[in-house]
Amino acid sequence: MKYHTFGEHTGASVLCFMPGKTPIPTHVVNGQAYCFRTVLVDPPRMGLDEATVRHVRRYRNILYISCSPDALQRNLKELSTTHKVACAVLFDHFPKTPHLETAVHLTARDTWQDPA
């Protein structure tokens, strides 16, 4: 996994991980190993591609932000074999337009195996 650190000048420690060929979501940052069980995705309007869907399935919790109901529906169908929707919230960030943001929390089904 490649990662980028943002906010160093403010003292914040926010990491952004990019998909790679790591078999499990374990990362080494500054010599310390971390095993993440939650991933946040905010894809473009076309939604998650096939490789990213495969990647995010490895996490116990998926926080999915979407601006496209069609892409969200397609991705939720793909993720439904390993995860279920725990809750969803709609946000009207652009009043008086047809655009809504959707935030969905997916949790792993009982068949999910912790890769750690």
Residues 70 and 29: their CA atoms lie apart, in Å, by: 36
**Catalytic member of 8, 35, 50, 67:** 67
Q: Is 50 a catalytic residue?
A: no
Residues pairing with 61 in the sheet: 38, 107
Structural contact between residues 37 and 114, judged by C-beta atoms closer than 8 angstroms:
yes
**Catalytic member of 8, 50, 78, 101:** 101
Is residue 48 packed enough to be buried (19+ CB in 10 Å), middle (13-18) or exposed (0-12)?
buried
Q: Is 87 a catalytic residue?
A: no
Residues with a catalytic annotation lie at 67, 101
